[in-house]
Amino acid sequence: MPAWAALLAAAAAGGAMLVAFPPYGLWWAAPAAVALLAVAVHGRRMRSGFWLGTVTGALFFTPLLAWTNLHTGLVPWLLLSVLETLYIGLVGAAGAWISPLLHGRHRWNRGGWAWPVAVGALWVAQEALRDRTPFGGFPWGRLAFSQDTSPLLRLAAAGGAPLVGFAVALIGGLAGYAVLRGIGAGTDARRAVAPLAAVVAGCAVAAAAQAVPLAQPGGRSVYVAVVQGNVPRLGLDFNAQRRAVLDNHVRATIELGDQVRAGARRPDLVVWPENASDIDPLRQTDAGLLIDQAANAVGAPILVGAVLYSPETGVENAGLVFNPGRDLGDPVQKYVKRHPVPFAETMPLRGIARMVSKEVDRVTDMTAGTSPGVLQVGPATVGDVICFEVAYDGLVRDTVTGGGQLLTVQTNNATFDEAEARQQLAMVRLRAVEHGRDALMASTVGISAFASHTGATSGETGFNTPAVILAELHLGTERTLATRLGAIPEYVIAALAVALLAAARFGRRRTTTDISHDADPGIKEDL
């Protein structure tokens, strides 16, 4: 492929990847993006592959993460986008490296079918690395999170986000294989069979996903209320409005209690979002009394998102259970966020970061929790995660293996926008299918919603508006295959990527040897 065409294909890959994600939601564009980048880097040097990958990554992550720029300025947004882009650059370099696999010169790789498998495995390996590094990683923009309305979503029940991502990239690899083999076939009918076979294989992957059984929650049903109290103003100063935010949630819950006394069905539990009470209700008596008043009014326990301040433990982002009839000073169940967001809830390299943005010192280093968010809230054992934790496989899985029957995601989107909220909701939908649990997302400003174990949503609220939504959810009792396997599918696919990278090394050596005997030396230099 000429350099200009490769550059165009890489740029198109970035655009296609972007529109695969909410708020656009064109899930089929994700495998198309993988195919475009794979074709663009095929047969090129690793250095060229890396730069082509960065073109794709920049055109994907920069607009995808634009919500990080709303209140913090350009620099943090661009730095995060550049960091994430580098990982796609690695995919491009690795994609160039595996080019010899397409030629199928080994007995175990007749027809070059290892190449599309390698394309799929490399994307999963890249995401595994990006999910963990640096500072605990940032999994936003994983292929699986674009598939919340896709037929491939069912694969989450078998192998979680890594298996869904692998299927997306494998289909993209097969599409790229069909293109490259089709170009090479020319008018040779026999060689045209391979591209057709690749198309059939891609369709078979999608069809196989439909055969994956979904877990059927076998527990009792519970009636759940989510309170979205809203904030006076969007932006970083939401915590300067903390009493108003608390009052909003208290007022909405008391109004719900009034409806119950008028004959409406009483919820079994109520969920408030992250930062619903940035006044520590365990130390500030007035805040605690207000929450107790709300719990007593509705006659149901409330899972409250709160910020706690203590000389012993520092600042904690927590979920607290306030039961009706609680006496002031009684202990409450508590989950403390285990993965505070770097550069938002904790500040690595603070001295250097201060030179980048004057907003740095608005970030207080929060203390990370050590236990999974498994809480008894009325009749339900809840698996709770807070905000971005929903993006991390292990943090969600730990709540289910710890006994969680219902997944709750407490989040605060007041510093972002609706696009970010919809991207987060897509993750909630995947987690519901992955673990066979009904789930909910409770946001201060929206979007709040319920997600069934099939991934279907209901009760979606608007953005930047107060709302109360109610739904009957079912408690899950069985563990899906994905829950039981844990991280094994990701490890296996990443190991496969490493093995195929090694196999490509031998393929490159053999190709170079062959060319040295019968080809122009300049071609050998290109290799």
Residue numbers annotated as active site: 274, 337, 387
SS (H, E, C) 29-75: HHHHHHHHHHHHHCCCCHHHHHHHHHHHHHHHHHHHCHHHHCCCCHH
Contact of 179 with 198, CB cutoff 8 Å:
no
What is 402-441 written as a DSSP string? TT-SEEEEEE--TTS-HHHHHHHHHHHHHHHHHHT--EEE
Contact 55, 8 (CB under 8 A): no
Cα-Cα end-to-end distance for the chain = 15
Q: Any long-range contacts for 43-47 (C-beta under 8 Å, 24+ apart)?
A: 43/1, 43/96, 43/99, 44/6, 44/96, 44/99, 45/96, 45/526, 46/93, 46/94, 46/96, 46/97, 47/93
Return all residues near 165 (Cβ < 8 A) that are at least 6 apart: 123, 124, 127, 142, 143, 144
- The Cα–Cα gap between 477 and 383 comes to 12
With 0-12 CB in 10 A as exposed, 13-18 as middle and 19+ as buried, what is 63?
A: middle
Beta bridge partners of 457: 451
Do residues 97 and 121 touch, judged by C-beta distance below 8 A? no
**Beta bridge partner(s), residue 363:** none
Tokens 């919340």 identify what position? 148
Helix or strand holding residue 294 (H, E):
helix 285-298
